[in-house]
Structure 1
Amino acid sequence: MHLWVPHPSDALWRSLREVGPPVRRVDDASHQHVGHPLLSSLGRDSRELQRTLGAVEVLDVPVPPEPAAPDSLLGWLQSDLRANAEPDQAARASRTWERSDRSVQVHACHGTGRQVDVLREVLLGLLAADPTLEPRDLLVMCPDIETYAPLISAGFGLADVVRDQGHPAHQLRVRLADRSLTQTNPLLAVATALLELAGGRAGASQVLDLAHAEPVRRRFGFGDDELQQLAVWVRESGVRWAFDAEHRADFGLADYVSNTWQFGLDRLLTGVAMSDDSATWLDRTLPLDDVGSGQIDLVGRLAEFVARLRRVTDALVGAHPLEHWLDTVVDGLGSLTAVAGADAWQSAQVQAELARVRESARGLGVSRLRLPDVRALLDDRLAGRPTRANFRTGTLTVCTMVPMRSVPHRVVCLLGLDDGVFPRGGAPDGDDVLARDPVTGERDPRSEDRQLMLDAVLAATETLVVTYTGADEYSGARRPPAVPLGELLDALDRTAAAPVADRLVVHHPLQPFDARNLTPGALGVEEAFSFDRAALSGARAAAGARVVTPRLLDEPLPARTAGDVSLDDLVRFFKAPARAFLRQRLDLALADEDDPIEDGMPVEIDQLAQWSVGDRVLRDLLGGMSVEHAREQEWRRGVLPPKWLGWRVLGDLLRRAEPLAVEGRRMRTLEPRAVEVDVDLGDGRRLRGTVAQVYGDRLVPVHYSRLGASHRMEAWVQLLALAATDDDRAWSAHAIGRPTSSRGGAALASSQLGPLDHRAPALLRDLVALREIGLAAPLPLPLKSSLAYARARRTHAPVEQALDKVRWDWEDGRFPGECSDPAHLRLWPDKRLPGLDEQPGPGEEHAGETTRFGALSQRVWSPLIAAEQGSW
């Protein structure tokens, strides 16, 4: 056997010839023969390898001398490393580093994405500066290829997609080498996911992620919309983790079935046959009232998927021979996945890889392995491996640091040398007895990564480029480089006549369109650093005059064709005029963020969840349900924390809801009825709708929320519609809710409106007219702020004093004000109170008000306040 071993320093190799056989690592004194600090800190693996080969006969064949290193910072460093000597003062004095020497470049960036941005600018700069340099002369090595692979794919190549409109780097063809097989073969990714799920908690997000895998989607027919529906059901049914109570036994929770997959599926399956409105349940199962008749098949497919997954993961536990593990994985893939005919290669590759595992483990015989052993075995097999076809293809090669670290390239780039990422963590496995007292030559991931970096430094013949995360992409806080990179910078400081690290490291701005990227000399190069034409346009725009974000509309829209008005639309408009303008006139819905899938059992619930629980139990109590029955029903939803934690929270919410329910039932003495309203608006138009939950002549809305402006407005508009429809009855409204302040100890708050008189039809027509104005252009009528203004003016407060009251509701404080409402931001992005610099328009006037905001506030709220105060 002939063994050719690359070594960073022939001088060091010769000095270690008599170092002896392997010894305990703590007793290794080979570092005493090292003359250069980088060889000491980064080259331990090569020294230990020489110990391991100490008993092998070495044939010392004369080889041609190394070519003279270039007269550059990189060349000086490589000469010192090969000579195994740190330069003395005289040698350093003869080496003057100039900024024009770009042989070593270190770039500190804001996160992974900016590192790729900077890398492509550096590579384009090198190619532009040297016509003899070709993409095949460039090598990019990355310790975490899977993180950077999609960013590199997006930043380079794609010439046929972007053509001449994109970044010039898109013209460079890139070859991503030695990626993990799980990234290129979805079936192998599913196999890995099954091994991760086995023995784990089966979290809701884990199982849903598996359902999103393409082979699983194909097997169970899950479409995009159906997967979104599954996520909604998982949230609504309370699934968090574990298949069932038996699965939780391993975690000490065998008696708690809530928030398991069985719990959620039982709710879904009973929801197919029963409604939540029935106020009944089967044992512990409360039906989920969100399952339509057209979704029964989807519920069945979800139940089948979870059942099959449970069977597979149950088989992937315990201690078994390797054959059992591999057969179980194959069976699991067969029951959970399917591939199209064009993707049959995926199944063939799975079989081939598992066959290689069987072959490599043939010596194990009938040894029984546990799940961690199988995971480690398959992780090694499925990890990225270099293949000949991916290298030396003439394109720009991007790979891990293993396959090409000793192959000379004119330019070597090390991408992503972040602190905490490089070198890899070296914590020994708890079962690895040898790792407690290792011998030289035994594997150590951190030492291996350091050696890889040393080899890469020596492989660069002209230029070495290093990028790392030097600043937090959110806060901008400085971050240190990886320790080996810091050691390289320290060594460079001791290589030239004067320290160079502070001048060598380029700290890049956060954004690619920052002017420094496009200003010659700003980032260490004579010309502009960036080649991005889009960034240049952005920088020019940023350097121009600042323009206040314009309003959505410069002038009102054309009036709509007059027609009948829906009572529901009128109510929705005056509860949120800005949002109603966007929705009812522009058909623009403001997107709501979906709640994330939670994997942990709820130990506490936030204010919004508490409101949801309180509102549900209030509806139950108003419907005649007993407190105990409401408690038992809510307990079965899976929203509350477990055991006494949940009972305590639910008890507090019931104590808040019960006084509201008592007062509501006291006011609702008659049978409820729905009243059809039909009001003549003139010009052949009518207002039509239905007011539900009317008790005699009384409208009694009860809210778990704190009684606020929107509740009053809803009751007022409905009351006006009732009075305008039948003015012979003494209609009134009694809105009930929680008090706006906890001070004073009041258990509830109420607002009594009416009885009304003959003025109701005119007031209703006035609101309809204002709605027509507000659908042509947004009304400056933020609900809470306008109510505060009208109340203050009702007490004869001056305008300025009334506006001071408004600021409490409009401006941000401890909590976001109305200025931060998404609809208000869309229409008035400057966060200034709208309507103060406008005069009232036709049909908007009000005595004593000179601003549009003031006039509209008084016009809408003054009649309501008068009716509420009994001065109607």
Structure 2
Amino acid sequence: MLKIYHSHSLLNLKDLLVLLIERDPLPDPFRDEQILVQSPGMAQWLKLELASGLGIAAGVEFPLPATFLWDSFARLLPDVPERSAYRKEAMCWKLMGLLPDMLALPEFAPLRHYLEQDETGFKRYQLCGKIADIFDQYLVYRPDWIDAWSRSESPLQPLGDQAWQPLLWRALQQRTEALGQPGWHRANMMEAFVESLRSAPADCLPTRLFVFGISALPHTYLQALQALGRRVDVHLMILNPCRHYWGDIVDPAYLAKLNRRLFGERGPEAAADYLESGNPLLASMGKLGRDYLHQLQEMDLPGFDFFDLPGDTSGENDTLLGRIQRDILELEDRSREPEGADHSGWKTPLADTDRSLQLHSCHSPLRELEVLHDRLLALFESAPGLTPRDIIVMMPDVAAYAPHIEAVFGSAPAERRIAYSISDRSLEQESPLLQGFLTLLQLPHSRLRVADVLDLLEIPATLRRFGLDEAAFELLRGWIEQAGVRWGLDAGQRESLGLPAFEQNSWRFGLRRMLAGFALGDCDGLWQDLAPYSEVEGLEAVLLGALADFIDLLEEAGALFRGERSVADWVVEINALLSRCYAPDEQDELALSQVRRALENLALELSDAGRDEPLHAEILVDYLTQALSGELSGQRFMIGALNFCTLMPMRSIPFRVVCLLGMNDGVYPRTLPPMGFDLIARHPRRGDRSRRDDDRYLFLEALLSAREQLYISFVGRSIQDNRERVPSVLVSELLEYCAQGFVLPGDETLAPDDSARNLRSRLVVEHPLTAYSERYFDDSSAELFSYAQQWLPAAGAGAAEAPPFCAAPLAPETVSALELDELLAFFRNPCRHFFLRRLRVGFRDLAADALDEEPFVLDNLESYGLRSRILAAQLDGRASRALAERLRAEGGLPVGTAGDRLYRQLSDEVAPLAQALEPLMQHPARRAEIDLQIDGLRLTGWIDGVRDDRLLRYRPASLKGRDHFLGWIEHLAGCASAGTLGLHLYGVERRKGVQQARFRALQPDAAQAELARLLQAYREGLSEPLPFAPNSAWAWLRQPDPDRALRDAEGVFSSGYNQPGEGDDPYIARVYGDFDSIRERMLALTESLFAPLLDHLETEKRP
């Protein structure tokens, strides 16, 4: 007999299950108990609970409903195959073969128009997949339609533009018969199964069957269970949130809409005269369970209730969460306002200490995780018996949150570490190798940007295959950037993407430059219109060979996934590609086995469909992408740690604490628009499945499964402009129910709307934008706190001066000899020199590692480099055309006329400087040797560019403060050694023309005295970062007006709109965060070291 057991508690149902098994064990100890569940996670939980209740959980199977029924069909009906001929995959491939011949029929005109210009068959494949999915839904939810269509009848009239569906279904049946496959499917098997049950031998049936906690079953499944119940005991255990019958209650929103449409003139209570909403949360979120309950009621089956005793308000039911759950259980509406109420005394008071329901508004998913981590630590502290396994954290898409979970929970220090696991991530999200393989599949449509290709090469299995390690990879990265590679394999590959066919800045372009440089060495000329890149030397050529092999592999893979082949050929080719691309370790072998299994399944499905024609690569790629992006069912769910998982059916296992993240408007409940040809959507029935209704019921189940606390967070503020964002409509409904039915202590005398507003503010915690906000540490709000000690210094930074980068100078270094070049490098950026020389730390600009576009527009550094080369060519009298060809051959100019125009522009800009320098360049250049002994330190080096006994320095851009200071240091060294008599500085500005600055000579003794002060500053700068930013310091030093000097210095140091400041330098910024932190010491240092510079600087002028 089929018996139905209702309970609002899964624990009650579990206890009942244990009791039934314990009191009535199976007579045959070798037969297994059969317990149907809806998910592997539920099966795992139930195993643990059965083991706890019975002492052991052996001889128990937990099949899913569809699997159990198909196995039952196979035992009782003849010729039932192991794989149904009407699986979605099988139907898809059969429809692929049927559809082309049927498109000529008039009924198929809508499909014919859609499939126009489908050269590869990919649109047909996608369409057939959707049709197969719809037919699969019909088999479960509309078996009467399928039965009528099989008899050439039409239960739906008229079908209109969907008249092709019955014809296509019958053609699918005929194709299946022609293949010699059994015609069984879920629609026609049910009646035969019910009939066969009457005479089925007992050993073909389970001794008994439990159906545990499944939220809803299709009507056909219930019919099968009812028929099975006539032979064996079937115990249907239902998680029912309400002890009363609620199959006829309606959603308040629907009730309001009905009022407006039919009874607008009679007032809001008109429809309530004959329709009941009961509890508004249950009515709004419970449609799935309500329809299921209605179906069970119509079957007129014996039912048993296992609810808590009425009136039991003990324990957890005294909390806000417990009272909400109790209201749903008793079908009560606490939020209904009494008629004429002008105060809030009728509302239920909420205790000050009640934190059973928490709502948190954050600015981003990362902040949601940071807030959650702190809240969980507080929970563990306040509830000593609570463990991570007592908590579940669910979200609409765990993949979107996985990086933030790893960043927050994975990086927490040991004293704040919470053991956790992430479930439901797809195969490709788990494996870098699979991510890389899926990228390989998309190569025909890829621009082959440098970053993308390096990501493929950096996969450990790929590095091993090509004999590379991390050091070799970094060396190759530098070569690739310097050789001018940006994107695209070659001109042909770019043309295949519908883009202009040019070779410059492509992978072949860069490889040819590197190979030519290795073969020819350092070469100033061109070779076959290429500028050889000569940095590859000696044994490093092996690395270049590996890179060339890898690019060849990518080219072959791109060609492979453009054509069409038989499935057998695809299997051979892809296996060969995998072998050439990867040298797998044990973990990688598991990922590769998934690829091979997907290929085997494809071959099997096509064989079952009787298809052996070539398959286009576009179809294959889509199939493999879908297969490898599937979820790992139940992956690491409930292993004793804090579980992060996706909100899905039957995750309503009881937990002491249930956390829901990402409850954002438009994200949850999820909406999946029906296909235009979905007849179920056009002709709905009670019990039809809907993604939106499923999600609403999942939220209700999560609300009911929380035993002590329900935690909800959402992105309630924009991270860009702090604008408010509304949460999910489900959160809003829950919050509104609380606000209308509960009141804070002391608010009883307020109007209902005012007390509701106060309660909303109390329940929803608005969190600051950042984790280091002062509000987390200043005790201004009991709801805002943090366990993250690392944010405490940053939180106080606004109220107190930040501690110095160096609390005390490092031990001084003994310096007895110094090269002039190192002294110049020091004053170029003293902070950088301190990090590199003393701390041995360097900061790499990761954003600039991979340039993925050819040089459309040059940045300042690239432009300066080109100006320097153009100026050098003009001063040497070299042909301008030859340099332009060289630059283009290096990939340093934009392609085509844009490059010509840019070259002419830069040439015109530096030409005035070349003209100004030409008379000075007539004097022969010489080198002046520096060898000075100053205060126990020997300063040595050479000064180049001495002409007519004067030091000449120039740059093809405007003169900066750095140029004046470094020129001054060289000038001092030259004067101290009597090697030079003066200094000429030249620069050029785009609009103002040539700049010129001249320095008068100093006496050797005076020059040495100035150098002594600079050398002392150098020694100090090795012990702590010297507070000196040369460009900012010059802006202050050159300006006689003190107020304007400060403004100018701050303007150079601080960044402005689209203009970085000198203080943005990564080395300076790590020591001196803003201008105020460096100002006083920098100005004093500049005054003491460089004030004499102004005395010897002749007025700057522009000739």
Which category describes the TM-score, using the shorter chain as reference length?
Answer: 0.7 to 0.9
Say yes or no: does 1:181 pair with 2:422: no
Report the CA distance shift for 1:654/1:42 in structure 2 as closer, same or farther (over 3 A): farther
Which of 831, 853, 857 pairs up with 2:1075? Answer: 831
Name the counterpart of 1:299: 544
Please say which of residues 480-489 and 206-215 is displaced more in the overlay: 480-489
| Cα contact 1:186–1:215 (8 A) shared by 2 | no
TM-score (norm 2): 0.64
In structure 1, the residue corresponding to 2:304 is in which secondary structure?
A: coil
Shift of 1:207: 1.3
Say yes or no: does 1:505 pair with 2:764: yes
In structure 2, the residue corresponding to 1:705 is in which secondary structure?
A: coil
Name the counterpart of 1:89: 337
Shift of 1:103: 3.2
Name the counterpart of 1:20: none
Name the counterpart of 2:804: 550
The aligned runs of 1:306-455 (5 Å cut-off) are 306-320=551-565, 323-340=568-585, 344-359=589-604, 362-364=607-609, 365-366=611-612, 373-383=619-629, 385=631, 387=633, 390-402=636-648, 404-419=650-665, 421-423=667-669, 426=672, 440=684, 448-455=694-701
| Greater C-alpha radius of gyration | 2
The aligned runs of 1:133-152 (5 Å cut-off) are 134-149=387-402, 151-152=404-405
CA distance in 1, matches of 2:826, 2:639: 65
CA distance in 1, matches of 2:277, 2:607: 43
Say yes or no: does 1:6 pair with 2:215: yes
Which of 725, 734, 738 pairs up with 2:988? Answer: 738
Name the counterpart of 1:848: none
Which of 995, 999, 1005 pairs up with 1:762? Answer: 1005
CA distance in 2, matches of 1:262, 1:206: 16
Spell out, residue by residue over 1:418-456, the C-alpha distance to the aligned partner (whole angstroms, 9 max, x if none): 456545574789xx8659977659987656544533443
Shift of 1:338: 0.8
The aligned runs of 1:646-795 (5 Å cut-off) are 646-669=899-922, 672-673=925-926, 675-681=927-933, 687-695=939-947, 697=949, 699-719=951-971, 721-722=973-974, 725=977, 733-739=983-989, 745-753=991-999, 756=1001, 759-778=1002-1021, 782-784=1029-1031, 787=1034, 791=1038
Name the counterpart of 2:897: 644
Shift of 1:282: 2.1
Shift of 1:862: 2.3
Name the counterpart of 1:109: 362
Which of 550, 563, 568 pairs up with 2:821? Answer: 568
The aligned runs of 1:793-808 (5 Å cut-off) are none
In structure 2, the residue corresponding to 1:748 is in which secondary structure?
A: strand
Say yes or no: does 1:858 pair with 2:1095: no
TM-score (norm 1): 0.79
Name the counterpart of 2:843: 591
Shift of 1:238: 3.2
CA distance in 1, matches of 2:397, 2:692: 14
In structure 2, the residue corresponding to 1:252 is in which secondary structure?
A: coil
Shift of 1:13: 7.6
Spell out, residue by residue over 1:22-81, the C-alpha distance to the aligned partner (whole angstroms, 9 max, x if none): xxxxxxxxxx99776656765666689899x99x99463313154469455445545666
CA distance in 2, matches of 1:435, 1:722: 91
| Cα contact 1:734–1:752 (8 A) shared by 2 | yes
Spell out, residue by residue over 1:469-492, the C-alpha distance to the aligned partner (whole angstroms, 9 max, x if none): 333557655443244433443454
Which of 441, 458, 467 pairs up with 1:212? Answer: 458
Q: Which amino acid aligns with 1:508?
A: H
In structure 2, the residue corresponding to 1:243 is in which secondary structure?
A: coil
CA distance in 1, matches of 2:794, 2:453: 48
Q: Which amino acid aligns with 2:944?
A: A
Report the CA distance shift for 1:140/1:714 in structure 2 as closer, same or farther (over 3 A): closer
The aligned runs of 1:194-213 (5 Å cut-off) are 194-213=440-459
Spell out, residue by residue over 1:262-320, the C-alpha distance to the aligned partner (whole angstroms, 9 max, x if none): 2222222223234676042423x332354344432222111111110221132123455
CA distance in 1, matches of 2:828, 2:793: 43
Shift of 1:141: 1.5
Spell out, residue by residue over 1:471-516, the C-alpha distance to the aligned partner (whole angstroms, 9 max, x if none): 3557655443244433443454455576343332122345556675
CA distance in 2, matches of 1:680, 1:253: 61
Spell out, residue by residue over 1:732-753, the C-alpha distance to the aligned partner (whole angstroms, 9 max, x if none): 54433213xx5xx543223345
CA distance in 1, matches of 2:550, 2:929: 50
Name the counterpart of 2:533: 288
CA distance in 2, matches of 1:581, 1:393: 49
Report the CA distance shift for 1:581/1:90 in structure 2 as closer, same or farther (over 3 A): closer
Report the CA distance shift for 1:230/1:469 in structure 2 as closer, same or farther (over 3 A): farther
Name the counterpart of 2:731: 485
Name the counterpart of 1:522: 781
In structure 1, the residue corresponding to 2:554 is in which secondary structure?
A: helix
CA distance in 1, matches of 2:650, 2:904: 65
Say yes or no: does 1:244 pair with 2:490: yes
Name the counterpart of 1:22: none
How many residues are paired up? 812
| Cα contact 1:268–1:291 (8 A) shared by 2 | yes
| Cα contact 1:836–1:853 (8 A) shared by 2 | no
Name the counterpart of 1:844: none
Spell out, residue by residue over 1:566-610, the C-alpha distance to the aligned partner (whole angstroms, 9 max, x if none): 2323433454556556656x3656624241424344443333333
The aligned runs of 1:589-628 (5 Å cut-off) are 591-594=843-846, 595-628=848-881
For structure 1, which runs of at least 5 residues remain unmatched after alignment? 18-31, 840-850
Matched-pair identity in %: 28
| Cα contact 1:239–1:260 (8 A) shared by 2 | yes
Q: Which amino acid aligns with 1:209?
A: D
CA distance in 2, matches of 1:630, 1:149: 52
Spell out, residue by residue over 1:522-559, the C-alpha distance to the aligned partner (whole angstroms, 9 max, x if none): 345xxx965x3737x93899499824533747679658
Shift of 1:209: 1.1
Q: Which amino acid aligns with 2:488?
A: A
Spell out, residue by residue over 1:595-633, the C-alpha distance to the aligned partner (whole angstroms, 9 max, x if none): 142434444333333333323333343344322222222
Report the CA distance shift for 1:190/1:555 in structure 2 as closer, same or farther (over 3 A): closer
Shift of 1:337: 0.6
Shift of 1:706: 0.9
Q: CA RMSD in A?
A: 4.6
| Cα contact 2:513–2:532 (8 A) shared by 1 | yes
Please say which of residues 707-716 and 254-263 is displaced more in the overlay: 707-716
| Cα contact 1:141–1:398 (8 A) shared by 2 | yes
CA distance in 2, matches of 1:866, 1:521: 60
Shift of 1:336: 0.7
| Cα contact 1:552–1:826 (8 A) shared by 2 | no
Greater relative CO (CA pairs within 8 A, separation 6+):
1
CA distance in 1, matches of 2:286, 2:853: 45
Please say which of residues 37-46 and 598-607 is displaced more in the overlay: 37-46
Report the CA distance shift for 1:622/1:273 in structure 2 as closer, same or farther (over 3 A): farther
Name the counterpart of 1:21: none
| Cα contact 1:517–1:523 (8 A) shared by 2 | no
| Cα contact 1:812–1:820 (8 A) shared by 2 | yes
Report the CA distance shift for 1:836/1:181 in structure 2 as closer, same or farther (over 3 A): closer
CA distance in 1, matches of 2:543, 2:351: 68
CA distance in 1, matches of 2:560, 2:298: 51
In structure 2, the residue corresponding to 1:278 is in which secondary structure?
A: coil
| Cα contact 2:1027–2:1081 (8 A) shared by 1 | no
